[in-house]
Amino acid sequence: MEKIDDAAAPVLPDSDLMEIEKEHFTIKEGKVYLIGSRSRSTGQTSYPACQYSYETGDTNVVSIEIGPFGKLYSFTSLMKKKEQEQRKWFGYIDFPCGARVFAPLQDNLTAAQLKCDMDVILKAKNDDWYAAVELDRD
């Protein structure tokens, strides 16, 4: 049996994802929007943007902006073994357009500050985006 060296193989995204070199978010008038897609026939939204509808296989999709406001659907955290390192928080965000997106959450959060259905807003730092909880709105 021939052994295949997986480490040498390139890691490629699913072929249904739109061009990888395109930006995955944009900032307009100080607000952050994710670049997703919507099927014209079904209305299904996706992030990242796809070239076809997962429901029907239809290729009649358009690029859309998702955000900047959403609701925290659920959340979890990861923490490295070193005690001095911060816990990293992630959550699923529901947007009014119907998209549910897995997102990194802002730094310096505690479990006591998070709850499902709280308002979040998209923010950007350097070359990436994250969801910030709006603590003062609740």
Domain that holds residue 71: 16-133
Query: Is 100 exposed, middle or buried, given 0-12, 13-18 or 19+ CB atoms closer than 10 A?
Result: middle
Answer whether residue 10 is part of any domain.
Answer: no
> How many residues does the structure list for the chain?
138
Answer whether residue 1 is part of any domain.
Answer: no
pLDDT band at residue 25, thresholds of 50, 70 and 90? very high
State the average pLDDT for the chain: 82
Answer whether residue 4 is part of any domain.
Answer: no
Overall domain count for the chain: 1
Answer whether residue 53 is part of any domain.
Answer: yes
pTM of the shown model: 0.77
Answer whether residue 3 is part of any domain.
Answer: no
pLDDT at 18 over 50: no
Answer whether residue 138 is part of any domain.
Answer: no
Answer whether residue 7 is part of any domain.
Answer: no
Answer whether residue 8 is part of any domain.
Answer: no
Nearest to 36, CA basis, from 67, 66, 70, 68: 66
What 106-111 contacts at long range (C-beta under 8 Å, 24+ apart), as own/partner pairs, is 106/130, 106/131, 106/132, 106/133, 109/133, 111/77
**118 vs 138, residue with greater confidence:** 118
Backbone φ and ψ for 113, nearest 5 degrees, come out as -85, -15
pLDDT band at residue 3, thresholds of 50, 70 and 90? very low
